[in-house]
Amino acid sequence: MNRVTELFNIKYPIVQGGMVWCSGWKLASAVSNNGGLGLLGAGSMRPEILREHIQKMQKATDKPWGVNVPLLYPDIDQLIQILIEEKVKIVFTSAGNPAKWTGLLKENGMTVVHVIANGRFTKKCEDAGVDAIVAEGFEAGGHNGREETTTLTLIQHIRQLTSLPLIAAGGIGTGKGMLTAMTLGADGVQIGSLFAASEESSAHSEFKKCIIETGEGGTQLSLKKLAPVRLIKNAFFEQVQKAELEGASALDLQKLLGKGRAKKGIFEGDMIEGELEIGQIATLINEVKPVKEQMTELLKEYNEAKQEIANNTRFQF
């Protein structure tokens, strides 16, 4: 029991990241039904699709759950309206300034959490009145901070800057990683890549297979002149890499990227031309499993690691 489990009224301080094209109602309800906090990923949903997922979610679980909303979403006003109309209780906001929307969401009775990748945003989160912070390190898949601060440094740093409940993200997909993040000062973890590779994830089976096969050095932070994003090194990535090494401008990269590439890769299964967002921890993910098993294994390893620290002489001096 800690501030994160209390804040959301969940059993384990494990939040499932609201990932584009992975985090629909099936994944989010499975996580919530197994004691974590499931999040719908609104970033890849048109407003009416989000409403549909919210309504399915309401039927699929009576446990707490939430929605992740990237604040730079073009139809953000519509999305927020739907959250209010559907009486969503927990919202994670990301990719934007928490000042603009937190007040309205709180007025409507929601618990609001904002995702940051650096310490500079900590104060903005506090001023906006968020209930908790997710701090996401360089290891994370998808969009990522320009500072490239890894989870190991970031969590300790953010913990010094704020006393808000803190959820660590980036590179966490094992029970040891979870214990690590909490040792560094977090009260809980947000896990993306592992759940992207779950049976309940709405990602294409080819993408899940690709996560399983991604080994060491298989991802890299890319498109830094636009917005840094961690991608699997497929053919599309190599095109970007070549262009960047030759000094491509932001405009060149924007043209190369075009539209809908994440959908093409993650949802439609095009492993050549798609934009394949996943975290470094993919190296350690070796099998597609149901969420229930993933959660059981996370908790088992977490508690075994705790025991080992307490009892094994290799930790004692």
Residues that bind its own copies (CB under 8 A): 1-3, 5, 11-13, 118-120, 137-139, 146-153, 156-157, 160, 170-172, 174, 176-177, 179-180, 182-185, 187, 216-217, 220-221, 225, 245-247, 280-281, 283-284, 299, 305-306, 308-310, 313-317
Closest CA to 228 of 242, 244, 205: 244
* CA nearest to 145, candidates 166, 174, 127, 122: 122
The edge-to-edge listing of strands for the beta sheet with 219-222 is 142-143, 229-232, 219-222
Q: Read off the amino acid at residue 283.
A: T
The secondary structure element, H or E, covering residue 232 is: strand 229-232
Helix (H) or strand (E) holding 244: helix 235-245
- Least separation in angstroms between residue 231's CB and its own copies is 13
Task: Output the smallest distance, CB 251 to its own copies, in A.
Answer: 14
Structure tokens at 67: 């929605």
Hey, is 247 helix, strand or coil?
coil
CB of 36 to its own copies, least distance (A): 11
Q: Residue written as tokens 């009145």?
A: 129
To its own copies, the closest distance from the beta carbon of 117 in angstroms equals 10
Kindly tell me which of 46 and 146 has the beta carbon lying closer to its own copies.
Answer: 146
Kindly write down the DSSP assignment for every residue of 132-195, as one continuous string.
EEEEE-TT-SEE--TT---HHHHHHHHHHH--S-EEEESS--SHHHHHHHHHTT-SEEEE-HHH
Residue 250 CB, nearest approach to its own copies (Å):
10
Q: How far is the CB of 255 from its own copies (least distance, A)?
A: 17
State the Cα–Cα distance between residues 307 and 309, nearest whole angstrom.
Answer: 5
Residue 262 beta carbon to its own copies: minimum distance, rounded to whole angstroms: 21
- DSSP class of 17: P
Number of residues written out for the chain: 317
For its own copies, the closer CB: 100 or 146: 146
Closer CB to its own copies, residue 81 or residue 286? 286
Residue in the block written with tokens 């949903």: 45
